Amino acid sequence: MNERQVGAGGTPGGGFEFLAGLVMAAGGGYMLLNQVEVVTSFWHFWGANSFGLTLLPLLAGAGLLFFNGRSMAGWLLTTLGLAIILAGILMNMDIYFRPTSLFNTLIMLVLVAGGIGLIARALRPHPGAADREGPQA
């Protein structure tokens, strides 16, 4: 029983190109993200030094949930409090690209772009690939 073998994306051929593109894109992405520095700044959500204020909905919701685990208001306040805290953390992050040479930056970007290009190429059918795979049943 001969089963038809297919490559990346369910099309004949392209398995090696997909793997090479994945390695290139992952390597370039790692190198690029390794140059990024993430730091936090002061909590300025709704005014200066307001982190304690953002905890109030979470604490009120947790209190309601301990009193009644089925309280819709408790679940709403807890979810809203967590969302406010997460938004505050994300809004207070500063992201910087560390200084590097132009050559290193170009290598990183070419690896990412070339890898994505190879992955996209691998997902297209390759003419004649079905003929190389042997007889079809």
The span from the CA of 98 to the CA of 124, in Å, is 37
Residue 26 lies in a domain: yes
pLDDT number for residue 2: 47
The domain of 79 spans: 42-93
Give the chain's mean pLDDT: 84
User: How sure is the predictor about 83, in pLDDT bands with cuts at 50, 70 and 90?
Assistant: very high
Instruction: Clarify whether residues 80 and 116 are in a common domain.
Output: no
Q: What mean pLDDT do residues 53-69 have? A: 92
Instruction: Clarify whether residues 83 and 64 are in a common domain.
Output: yes
Whether the pLDDT of residue 55 is over 80: the answer is yes
Q: What mean pLDDT do residues 103-127 have? A: 91
Q: Would you say the pTM of this structure is higher than 0.95? A: no
Q: What mean pLDDT do residues 99-109 have? A: 96
Domain end point (choices 93, 116, 132): 93
Instruction: Clarify whether residues 47 and 89 are in a common domain.
Output: yes
Instruction: Clarify whether residues 47 and 77 are in a common domain.
Output: yes
Residue 129 lies in a domain: no
Residue 4 lies in a domain: no
Instruction: Clarify whether residues 89 and 102 are in a common domain.
Output: no
User: How sure is the predictor about 36, in pLDDT bands with cuts at 50, 70 and 90?
Assistant: very high
Total domains in the chain come to: 2
Kindly report, residue by residue over 7-29, the tens digit of the pLDDT. 666 666 678 888 999 999 999 99
State percent of the chain over pLDDT 90: 52
pLDDT number for residue 132: 55
pLDDT number for residue 81: 93
State percent of the chain over pLDDT 70: 77
